[in-house]
Amino acid sequence: MGMYDRTLEYIDQLQHAGTAVAVCERLLGITSNFGLTALMAGTVPQPGTPRGQQKDHVLLCDWPGEWLERYVARNYVDHDPVVSHMKQLQAPFQWREASRSIVVDKSSDEVMGDARAFKLRDGLAFPLVTLDGQIVMVSLGGEAVELSGEEFGMVSLASTYAIGRAMQLHTKPTKVIDHIELTARERECLQWAAVGKSEWEISQILGISEHTSEKHLLNAKSKLGAANRVQAVAEAIRRGYIS
């Protein structure tokens, strides 16, 4: 089975997960093939949010319990080089890149040292923005992470789709959409979004305004029940609307 068919199979598995726990289990069932065995994903709480309420921001979690307690208790989020790099880069990256790209001080070195003690030596991380503007931080970790460029892209796509699925389950009861009618323009915009084109680039390609291309993408996301742009693209591919 090729990478494309495997990706469609993974997306289908995630779509049919009925609970956040099931989404987490199925995603890790995919990512563990590449050494990514632990997961944390959630929206970013506002500064000053009480610690007891921070758990409400967690969407998916399968992290070593003791490590999570230590991370929160020592306020590692303010010193974590992965989090700092995630805010700057705003694209998927491996943890090892964070240590190379920012100045590592004593506090950040302590964070990474403690992570290694819990068999979290490397990982994959990225932020994503939902349709309503929420920022979701996603981090997958493990002891021995091995990803080719193609596998990196597949894991990023599957992870983003999983977060969208978790958000659907978190916010409202799942409604199965049996039939969706996408307009020709909506399909075209999704097709170009699938290859990484921005709303402005899509507008130039199709000869429409940037506002119009953005509107077509928003309409498609809404019809597909997607929480973010990547999930919309993945769902359109899964349903055969684009290839």
129-182 residue pLDDT tens: 766 667 788 999 999 999 898 898 889 888 888 888 887 777 654 455 567 889
CATH number of 3-171: 3.30.450.80
Residues of the chain with CATH 1.10.10.10: 184-238
Mean pLDDT value across the chain: 83
Res. 11: pLDDT tops 70 = yes
Is the CATH number 1.10.3720.10 carried by domain 184-238? no
Angle between helices 199-206 and 210-224 (to 10 degrees): 110
Average pLDDT over residues 114-141: 85
Average pLDDT over residues 61-69: 89
Q: What is the pLDDT of residues 20-29, one digit of tens each?
A: 899 999 999 9
Nearest of 171, 175, 203, 174 to residue 189 by alpha carbon: 203
Whole-angstrom CA distances from 163 to 40, 92, 186 are 10, 14, 23
Q: Is 101 helix (H, G, I), strand (E, B) or coil?
A: helix
pTM passes above 0.75: no
Residues of the chain with CATH 3.30.450.80: 3-171
Residue 196 pLDDT class (50, 70, 90 cuts) = confident
H/E segment holding residue 224: helix 210-224
**CA–CA separation, 93 and 3 (whole Å):** 20
Question: What's 119's DSSP letter?
Answer: T
What confidence score (pLDDT) does residue 141 get? 95
